[in-house]
Amino acid sequence: MPLTALDIQQQRFRTKVRGVDPKEVQTFLEQAAAAFEDLQREHHRLTGEVRQLRGEIDEHRKREGTFKRALMQSQKVLDQMKVNAEKQADLIVTEAENKAEKLLHQAQRRLSQLQEDITKLKRQRVQIEVEIGYVIESHRRLLTLGQEQIRATDEQDEKLKVLKKAI
């Protein structure tokens, strides 16, 4: 367990007849020494790392100057490309507007045709519904007539049964 400054400040030794316990003091000193040694190693490592990073910073600053000059040149080229792109974009937009206008007219014509087709189909549907209604009504009448004939036949059969029983 690493020793902290607070640990050192709060360390209390038990007193014995002749003062503090020497073993306890020795153990504490060994811990403090180990912690201090670790800190020294870390300090040396960080110092070396700082030197290395400073060298890298200097190198990056040199590169930064080169990049700035290249960036300025690139910016000039980009500005010219932007002007050219805007001109080309204007041409593309004009062409697109013309195509869109043509497509709109085609779509409107198609819409009109579809509306006419829908109207025809609705008329056909109404006509078919009326025809189906007539067919259903005529079948209903036929069924009614058939049921009436069955009842009449059943009544005649009943009368014959009654007459047969009577004879």
Measure the CA–CA gap between 20 and 11, rounded to whole angstroms.
Answer: 12
For the chain, report the end-to-end CA distance as a whole number of angstroms. Answer: 128
Q: Which domain holds residue 106?
A: 5-166
Question: Which segment of 17-21, 60-64, 69-73 scores lowest on mean pLDDT?
Answer: 17-21
In tens, the pLDDT along 64-105 reads 999 999 999 999 999 999 999 999 999 999 999 999 999 999
Number of domains in the chain: 1
